[in-house]
């Protein structure tokens, strides 16, 4: 999820902790619980700092180790330790539990969107991305903002926030149900056993979903709009060739970062007069007849790297500038 939604959910969780009579009757502990909920709802995204280095580092590390099983278990104790130096309380177990719930909610919500997380690290590097909700879901965001606003107007937190989280859970089940309907629709469209994988991503529009389908021979890019399956593009599925262009491209950090993240992509090799361009194109994010998430490496005539880039690009002109800047 986006930072604003994580923050709003953290405040809501802080309000929800007041159903615990131990927290509700201790002002200092209640403040610590609110802080634990807010910090816990944000701290897994501390890996955003990798964006200060470059896109490759960010893509390879964001939602990785800081969202992993060990991190989920470590963060609550770290948060409680820090808060123990700021607030005066003895009920450490209550703060640990609040921080743990906040971190679990953060990672869980990230798994539910199309970007996903590597939550199974270090046991697996697999990305868990269900795609049932968008990275920014306006319903969830305004649900929690409304709850916070109503609480500030004077309504009891013990009434408002249990209701907010109940609605949130019911909404998630609804979105999971809609996603399952779409997956069933896609499978019924193709022959039995023809589909190898389906990648579904929710958009900001409730009735619009992006779809990428992988079969043994083709990639299909589609969308589901108002319950109708609409196909946009079809690409022949061609395995990466054993050639100098590809083998040298695969050693580049930008390419490696892209491939570690993208579950469905196609590739291109374009030979120019002075260089060769190797491009990898993620098929999940089609927007206005364009695929903006790419990784590109330029090689000279002896297959040495000239420059490379990975990230979101919405025009060839911007891509050329990025490649010039990285050279």
Which burial class, exposed, middle or buried, applies to 154 when counting CB atoms under 10 A from its CB (0-12, 13-18, 19+)? exposed
Residues 44 and 159 in one domain: yes
Residues 183 and 171 in one domain: no
Confidence of residue 116 (pLDDT cuts 50, 70, 90): very high
Work out the angle between the directed axes of helices 69-84 and 92-112 (0-180°, nearest 10): 140
* CA 321 – CA 327 distance, rounded (Å): 10
Tokens of 188: 């019924």
Tokens of 149: 């606003």
Residues 36 and 127 in one domain: yes
pLDDT, residue 288, reads: 86
Residues 106 and 231 in one domain: no
> Domain tally for the chain?
3
Residues 6+ apart with CB under 8 A from 169: none
Residues 255 and 221 in one domain: no
Q: Are 224 and 182 in contact (CB under 8 A)?
A: yes
Residues 23 and 67 in one domain: yes
Confidence of residue 292 (pLDDT cuts 50, 70, 90): very high
**Residue 219 sits in which domain range?**
176-236
Residues 27 and 62 in one domain: yes
Residues 165 and 195 in one domain: no
pTM confidence score: 0.92
Percent of the chain with pLDDT over 90: 87
Residues 45 and 105 in one domain: yes
Domain end among 159, 175, 191:
175
* CA 19 – CA 48 distance, rounded (Å): 33
* C-alpha dihedral (213, 196, 129, 247), degrees to nearest 10: -90
């Amino acid at each position: 999820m986006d930072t604003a939604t994580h923050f709003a959910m953290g405040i809501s969780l802080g309000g929800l902790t007041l159903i615990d009579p131990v927290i509700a009757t201790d002002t200092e502990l209640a403040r610590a619980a609110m802080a634990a909920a807010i910090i816990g709802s944000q701290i897994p995204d501390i890996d955003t700092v990798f964006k200060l280095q470059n896109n490759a580092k960010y893509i390879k590390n964001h939602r990785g180790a800081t969202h992993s099983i060990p991190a989920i278990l470590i963060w609550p104790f770290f948060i409680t330790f820090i808060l123990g130096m700021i607030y005066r309380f003895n009920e450490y177990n209550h703060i640990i539990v609040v921080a743990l719930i906040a971190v679990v909610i953060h990672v869980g919500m990230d798994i539910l969107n199309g970007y996903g997380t590597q939550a199974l690290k270090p046991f697996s590097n697999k990305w868990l991305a269900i795609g049932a909700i968008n990275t920014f879901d306006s319903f969830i965001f305004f649900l929690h903002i409304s709850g916070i606003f109503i609480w500030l107007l004077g309504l009891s937190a013990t009434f408002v926030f249990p209701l907010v989280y109940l609605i949130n859970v019911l909404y998630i089940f609804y979105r999971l149900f809609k996603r399952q309907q779409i997956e069933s629709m896609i499978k019924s469209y193709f022959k039995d056993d023809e589909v190898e994988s389906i990648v579904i991503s929710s958009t900001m529009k409730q009735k619009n979903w992006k779809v990428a389908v992988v079969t043994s021979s083709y990639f299909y890019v589609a969308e589901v709009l108002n319950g109708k399956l609409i196909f946009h593009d079809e690409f022949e599925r061609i395995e990466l060739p054993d050639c100098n262009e590809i083998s040298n491209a695969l050693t580049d950090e930008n390419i490696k970062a892209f491939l570690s993240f993208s579950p469905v992509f196609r590739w291109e090799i374009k030979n120019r007069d002075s260089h060769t361009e190797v491009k990898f194109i993620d098929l999940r994010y089609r927007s206005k007849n364009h695929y903006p998430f790419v990784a590109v490496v330029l090689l000279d005539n002896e297959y040495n790297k000239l420059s490379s880039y990975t990230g979101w690009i919405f025009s060839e002109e911007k891509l050329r500038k990025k490649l010039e800047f990285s050279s």
